[in-house]
Structure 1
Amino acid sequence: MIIVTTEFVPGKEVKELKGFVKGSTVQSKHIGKDLLAGLKTIVGGEIKDYTDMMTEARKIAIGRMVEDAKKMGANAVIGVRLETSSVMANASEIIAYGTAVYVE
């Protein structure tokens, strides 16, 4: 599966537009890690546990978007975007979306 943020795939021609595809996941913070992260905000720096959590969430969301595209018979997703939002206290949603196409 080709995944690009552009509206075209370099060197390929879009033969068929399949439609909108998306994938998402909601990840919650671990209470123990949340306490340690709170301490980290005092001294500054990267909160590695949250970075890892969000990296994994992006992989899951993109994987679900790809599965959606495969069901439509697509071999590429163009115009891919990622967004995140807070859905409740201590939980964030990651959504990946784009346009499924068939390219040659």
Structure 2
Amino acid sequence: MIIVTTEFVPGKEVKELKGFVRGGTVQSKHIGKDIMAGLKTIVGGEISDYTEMLEEARQKAIGRMVDDAKAKGANAVIGLRLQTSSVMQNASEIIAYGTAVC
């Protein structure tokens, strides 16, 4: 599956639009990791537990988007976008979306 943020794939021709596809997940913070992250904000630096959590969430969202695209018979997704929002205290939603094509 080809996935690009651009509106086209260089050297490829879009023959058919399959439509809008998306995938998402909601991730919550682990209370123990949240306490450690709070301490990390005092001394500064990267909060690697959150970095890992968000990377995992992005991969899940993209994977679900790819499943949606495959179900529609697509072999590529163009115009990939990622969006995040807070849905409640200590939980964030990540959504991946784009246009399925072949």
The TM-score normalised by the length of structure 2 is 0.99
Tell me how far apart the structure 2 counterparts of residues 17 and 33 of structure 1 sit (CA, whole Å).
43
Tell me how far apart the structure 1 counterparts of residues 47 and 99 of structure 2 sit (CA, whole Å).
33
Tell me how far apart the structure 2 counterparts of residues 77 and 99 of structure 1 sit (CA, whole Å).
5
**For residue 52 of structure 2, what is the aligned residue in structure 1?**
52
Structure 2 residues not aligned, in runs of 5+: none
Moved >4 Å (runs of 4+): none
Confirm or deny that 1:35 pairs with 2:35. Answer: yes
Matched residue SS, 1:13: coil
Aligned residues: 102
- Give the aligned residue type for 2:74: A
Structure 1 residues not aligned, in runs of 5+: none
**For residue 80 of structure 1, what is the aligned residue in structure 2?**
80
The TM-score normalised by the length of structure 1 is 0.97
Q: CA offset at residue 27 of structure 1? A: 0.3
**For residue 13 of structure 1, what is the aligned residue in structure 2?**
13
Tell me how far apart the structure 2 counterparts of residues 10 and 76 of structure 1 sit (CA, whole Å).
12
% of aligned pairs identical? 83
Tell me how far apart the structure 2 counterparts of residues 36 and 18 of structure 1 sit (CA, whole Å).
45
Which has the larger strand fraction? 1
For the aligned residues, what is the CA RMSD? 0.3
